Amino acid sequence: MTEPADTPTIDHAFTGDRRGAAHDPTYAGALSFMRRRYSKDFTGCDLVIWGVPFDLAVSNRPGTRFGPQALRRVSAIFDGDAQYPSRIDPFEHLSAVDYGDCLLPRSDLQGCAKAIEEGAAKIIASGAHLVTLGGDHFITLPLLRAHVARHGKLALVQFDAHQDTWDDGIGAISHGTFVLEAVREGLIDVERSIQIGIRTVAPRDCGIAVIDGYAAQALGVDGVVARIRQRVGHGPAYLTFDIDGLDPAFAPGTGTPVAGGLSSAQGLGMVWGIRDLDFRGMDVVEVSPPYDHADATAIAGAAVAQHYIQALALKKMG
């Protein structure tokens, strides 16, 4: 039974409605993402948030399987308030649930890819908008497969230190190859796609525009936003935010940190600056709590998702 809106409650993740603010103490209560109600029923939802705790495709430090837990935990800081910078409670306008995590088969990497794709496809087929908490960056490949099956080929907007276009062979399970695989499969509209914050050298760009780390600093937030908007245009797109797009000073808790990246303020400002693009889904990936300090990385990752959710609410408001 759901309590009346004016009745103080705790554990909103179990007791609350799909809409409206929660008022659990920040330090207590069940830790869903932004205190959304846990539910396997997403009928009629505008938004579904789920986790994909997968880190079996990393090339360096593991630990991103714990990313969804950390992102949910730190998101409690957003509880019950109007959100910055929109100044609205997004859940007054969005019916949303936290669907929990994707169940991944042990010892079956191809089975993991299939489980992610099928789980995402089921949610997307309902008409709900899907926000995914990762997990290493491989998960974006099966997520793209599910989104493209519903929406057609998508522009990719990727914040990252790496282009992820290495070639480990067709069908490889690797967080460094997902972009190349997606291009090979025809999932990405390369002429409208762009990567921001790149600070490594990959063997190919696959026709995708690149704003590297130094260029991003020179352009600033407004300049990068203008470049993204010009590249993507008005067509459908997918946003993937690898937390290592941020400098390790702001996001130490990641598997393959690279110096010289964006600040958290710059990254969030860029995401906010493109809030009206036609995004059909998004993910935040590569948050690795074992290497984090004071939850800095998880806080940044949760804020990226929170900014995106605010943008969805603004679109719903018209």
- Is 212 annotated among the ligand-binding residues? no
- Is 17 annotated among the ligand-binding residues? no
Burial of residue 288 (number of CB atoms within 10 Å: 0-12, 13-18, 19+): buried
Angle 211-262-307 from CA coordinates, rounded to 5°: 100
Handedness of CA 28, 63, 244, 38 (dihedral sign): negative
Distances, alpha carbon 212 to alpha carbons 156, 168, 252, 253, in Å: 16, 23, 20, 21
Cα–Cα distance for residue pair 264/262, rounded to 1 Å: 6
- Is 283 annotated among the ligand-binding residues? no
Distances, alpha carbon 64 to alpha carbons 57, 224, 227, 251, 299, in Å: 10, 28, 30, 13, 15
Which residues 6+ apart lie within 8 Å of 283 measured at CB? 131, 132, 133, 134, 135, 139, 140, 143, 239, 240, 241
- Is 137 annotated among the ligand-binding residues? yes
Which residues 6+ apart lie within 8 Å of 224 measured at CB? 196, 211, 216, 270, 273
Annotated binding site: 137, 160, 162, 164, 242, 244
Annotated binding site for Mn(2+): 137, 160, 162, 164, 242, 244
